[in-house]
Amino acid sequence: MDTKTLVVGQYVYMVSGVYGATGKVTKVTPDGVEVQAAPGTYGRDDKGQVFRFDNDGKPLDDWGQYEEGPWELDDIPFVGQPWMLAANAPPENRNH
């Protein structure tokens, strides 16, 4: 994914192997973006971990699912993702 087209406040899709999560772009830099994962990505008490990605959507951090590796940004749209729970979906794309 080319992160140069992303803007602050935009929702993105992240993958770690077979796992998926949503996030919101919180910062755009010449080197990439920072994305805050949806609350609950790492459990009920998780407030939303922040991840950094380069201009190609590859991770600059080692955070991810233990068995699948670090999170990466992906171009897959939110709507219709079977794993998506209504609570974690962006407001405009909630599956009710």
| CATH number of residue 8's parent domain | 2.30.30
Q: What is the percentage of the chain residues whose pLDDT exceeds 90?
A: 24
User: Domain for residue 96, yes or no?
Assistant: no
Among the residue ranges 9-13, 26-30, 36-40, 73-77, the one predicted with the least confidence is 73-77
The residue segments making up the domain with residue 77 are 3-88
Contact 56, 1 (CB under 8 A): yes
Count how many domains the chain has. 1
Q: Is residue 95 part of a domain?
A: no
> How far is 66 from 32, CA to CA, in rounded Å?
24
**Encoding tokens for residue 45?**
């008490």
How buried is 9 (Cβ within 10 angstroms: 0-12 exposed, 13-18 middle, 19+ buried)?
exposed
Angle at 42 between CA 64 and CA 14, to 5 degrees: 45
pLDDT higher than 90, residue 33: yes
CA angle (10, 16, 22) in 5-degree steps: 25
Residue 95 confidence (pLDDT) = 46
Q: Give the model's confidence band at 96: pLDDT under 50 very low, under 70 low, under 90 confident, else very high.
A: very low
